[in-house]
Amino acid sequence: MMNIKHVKALCLCGAAIVGLAAALAACKNPLTQEVRQLAAVAASPKMAIAVANSTATAIANGASYDFGTVGINDATPYAEVSFTATNSGKVALAISSSGFSGANAGCFSFSTPPPASLSPAASATFTIRFTPGTSGAKTAKAVLVTNDVSNTSFSFTLTGTGIDSAPVPVFVENSTTTYTSGSVLCVPGGLDSIEIKCSNSNATIYYTEDGPTPNTKYTVPLSPAWSGNTIIQAYAAVPGMKDSSVATLTLTTTTVSTPTIIVADRSFSPSDALASFPFSISSPTNNAKIAFTIDGSPPIIGGATLLTSPTSPPVSVDGVTYMMTNGSSFIYQGQHINGSFTLKAVAFVSAVSSPSSAPATYTFQLSPPTWATVQPSATYYVGAQSVGLSAASGAGGTVSILYSTDGSAPSSTYGGPIVVPVGAAGSSTSEVIKAVAHQANWVDSTPSISGVFHVCGPGLWCDGGSNSNWDQATWQP
Which whole number is the average pLDDT over 13-28?
Answer: 46
Rg of the chain (C-alpha set) = 47
Report the share of the chain in percent with pLDDT over 90: 31
Burial label, 331 (beta-carbon count in 10 A; 0-12, 13-18, 19+): middle
Which whole number is the average pLDDT over 438-463?
Answer: 79
C-alpha closest to that of 198 among 232, 163, 224, 172: 172
End position of a domain, from candidates 364, 396, 413: 364
| From 136-150, 163-177, 197-211, the region with the lowest mean pLDDT | 163-177
97-113 burial: b if 16+ Cβ within 10 Å, else e:
eeebebebbebbbeeee
Q: Give the strand pairing for 247-253 and 428-438.
A: unpaired
Query: Each residue of 263-307: pLDDT tens digit?
Result: 877 777 777 776 677 888 888 877 788 888 888 888 888 878 887
- Asked if residue 168 belongs to a domain, the reply is no
Question: Do 391 and 433 sit in the same domain of this protein?
Answer: yes
Query: Number of structural domains, the chain?
Result: 5
Asked, as a colleague might, if the bond just before 447 is cis with ω within 30 of 0, I would say: yes
Which whole number is the average pLDDT over 35-63?
Answer: 78
The H-or-E segment that residue 173 falls in is strand 170-173
Residue 402 pLDDT: 95
Residue 3 pLDDT: 47
Which whole number is the average pLDDT over 172-181?
Answer: 80
Which domain range does residue 107 map to? 47-163
Alpha-carbon gap, residue 221 to 174, rounded angstroms: 9
394 or 220, which is more confident?
220
Q: Give the model's confidence band at 141: pLDDT under 50 very low, under 70 low, under 90 confident, else very high.
A: very high
Residue 351: pLDDT over 80: no
Q: Tell me the average pLDDT of the chain.
A: 80
Q: Decide: pTM greater than 0.75.
A: no
Residue 20 pLDDT: 46
Question: Do 159 and 55 sit in the same domain of this protein?
Answer: yes
Query: Each residue of 378-401: pLDDT tens digit?
Result: 567 778 888 899 998 887 678 999
Q: At 415, is the secondary structure helix, strand, or coil?
A: coil
Question: Do 433 and 450 sit in the same domain of this protein?
Answer: yes
Residue 243: pLDDT over 50: yes
Q: Give the model's confidence band at 13: pLDDT under 50 very low, under 70 low, under 90 confident, else very high.
A: very low
Q: Give the model's confidence band at 246: pLDDT under 50 very low, under 70 low, under 90 confident, else very high.
A: very high
Question: Do 396 and 297 sit in the same domain of this protein?
Answer: no
Which whole number is the average pLDDT over 395-414?
Answer: 90
Question: Do 360 and 383 sit in the same domain of this protein?
Answer: no
C-alpha distances (whole Å) from 20 to each of 2, 17, 32, 45, 198 are: 12, 5, 9, 21, 74
Question: Do 102 and 17 sit in the same domain of this protein?
Answer: no
Residue 230: pLDDT over 70: yes
Question: Do 285 and 330 sit in the same domain of this protein?
Answer: yes
- Asked if residue 170 belongs to a domain, the reply is no
Other C-beta atoms closer than 10 Å to the C-beta of 170 total 19
Question: Do 342 and 400 sit in the same domain of this protein?
Answer: no
Alpha-carbon gap, residue 31 to 11, rounded angstroms: 14
Query: Each residue of 81-114: pLDDT tens digit?
Result: 999 999 989 899 999 887 899 999 999 999 999 9
The H-or-E segment that residue 6 falls in is helix 4-9
Alpha-carbon gap, residue 263 to 473, rounded angstroms: 55
Alpha-carbon gap, residue 453 to 375, rounded angstroms: 11
- Cβ–Cβ under 8 Å, residues 354 and 290: no
Question: Do 268 and 287 sit in the same domain of this protein?
Answer: yes
Residue 25: pLDDT over 80: no
- Asked if residue 169 belongs to a domain, the reply is no
Bridge partners for 95 per DSSP: 146
Question: Do 39 and 51 sit in the same domain of this protein?
Answer: no
Q: Give the model's confidence band at 24: pLDDT under 50 very low, under 70 low, under 90 confident, else very high.
A: very low
330 or 409, which is more confident?
409
Q: Give the model's confidence band at 212: pLDDT under 50 very low, under 70 low, under 90 confident, else very high.
A: confident
Question: Do 183 and 148 sit in the same domain of this protein?
Answer: no
Other C-beta atoms closer than 10 Å to the C-beta of 151 total 21
Following DSSP, what letter does each residue of 36-57 receive, concatenated?
HHHHHHHHS--EEEEESSSS--
Which whole number is the average pLDDT over 14-33?
Answer: 49
Which whole number is the average pLDDT over 433-438?
Answer: 92
Residue 112 pLDDT: 93
Residue 110 pLDDT: 94
CATH number, domain with residue 87: 2.60.40.10
End position of a domain, from candidates 135, 163, 191: 163
- Cβ–Cβ under 8 Å, residues 68 and 137: no
Q: Give the model's confidence band at 358: pLDDT under 50 very low, under 70 low, under 90 confident, else very high.
A: confident
Report the share of the chain in percent with pLDDT over 70: 77
Question: Do 245 and 264 sit in the same domain of this protein?
Answer: no
Residue 74 pLDDT: 80
Residue 238 pLDDT: 93
Alpha-carbon gap, residue 148 to 247, rounded angstroms: 47
| From 188-192, 222-226, 323-327, 329-333, the region with the lowest mean pLDDT | 188-192
CB contact set of 322 (below 8 Å; sequence gap of 6+)? 291, 292, 293, 294, 304, 305, 306, 307, 314
Which whole number is the average pLDDT over 364-383?
Answer: 76
Alpha-carbon gap, residue 350 to 353, rounded angstroms: 8
Residue 187 pLDDT: 55
CATH number, domain with residue 246: 2.60.40
